[in-house]
Amino acid sequence: MYEIFVGLRFIKAGNNSNFINFISFLSTAGIALGVATLIIVLSVMNGFQKEVRDKMLGVLAHVELITRNAEFSELENIREKVSKHPDVVGIAPFIDAKSILLGDGRLEGVFVKGIDPDLENEVSDILKLTSTSRDSLLPPGSFNVFIGKQLADKLALEYGDSIILISTESPASVLGFVPRIKKFKISGIFDTGHFQYDSNLIVCNKEDVKKFFRYSTIDGLRIRLNDMNNAPSFANEIKILIGDKYIVRDWTYENKNWFAAVQIEKKMMTIILMLIIGVAAFNLVSMLVMTVSEKKSDIAILRTMGATKKSILLIFFTQGICLGLIGVFSGLVLGSVGALNVGDIVRVVEVTFGFEVLPEGIYLIDKVPSDLRLEDMFSIGVVSLFLTVLSTIYPCLKAMSLEPAAALRYE
- pLDDT for residue 163: 87
Cα–Cα distance for residue pair 23/287, rounded to 1 Å: 6
SS3 220: strand
DSSP string, 197-236: HHHHEEEEEHHHHHHHHTTS-EEEEEEEES-GGGHHHHHH
Give the list of residues 6+ apart from residue 285 with CB closer than 8 angstroms, or none: 391, 392, 394, 395
210 neighbors 194 (Cβ within 8 angstroms): no
pLDDT of residue 228: 82
Cβ of 289: how many Cβ atoms within 10 Å? 15
Quote the DSSP letter at residue 364. S
Q: What pLDDT is attached to residue 133?
A: 46
Distance CA 226, CA 60 (A): 15
So what's the pLDDT on residue 329? 92
Q: Please tell me the distance from the alpha carbon of residue 324 to that of residue 313, in angstroms, as a whole number.
A: 16
pLDDT computed for residue 253 by the predictor = 76
Looking at residue 136, its pLDDT comes to 53
356 phi/psi in degrees, rounded to 5 = -95, 130
Per-residue pLDDT of the chain (411 residues; tens, 9 = 90+): 666 666 667 666 554 556 667 777 877 888 888 889 889 988 888 888 887 777 777 777 888 888 765 566 677 777 888 888 888 888 888 888 888 888 777 788 888 888 888 888 888 888 888 876 454 578 888 888 898 888 888 888 888 888 888 887 666 555 556 677 888 888 888 888 777 788 888 899 888 888 888 766 778 888 888 888 888 888 888 887 776 777 888 887 766 776 777 778 778 888 887 887 777 777 777 777 777 777 777 777 777 777 777 777 787 788 788 888 888 899 999 999 988 888 888 888 777 877 776 665 555 566 778 888 888 889 888 888 888 888 888 878 877 777 666 656 655
pLDDT given for residue 333 in this prediction: 93
User: pTM score, two decimals?
Assistant: 0.69
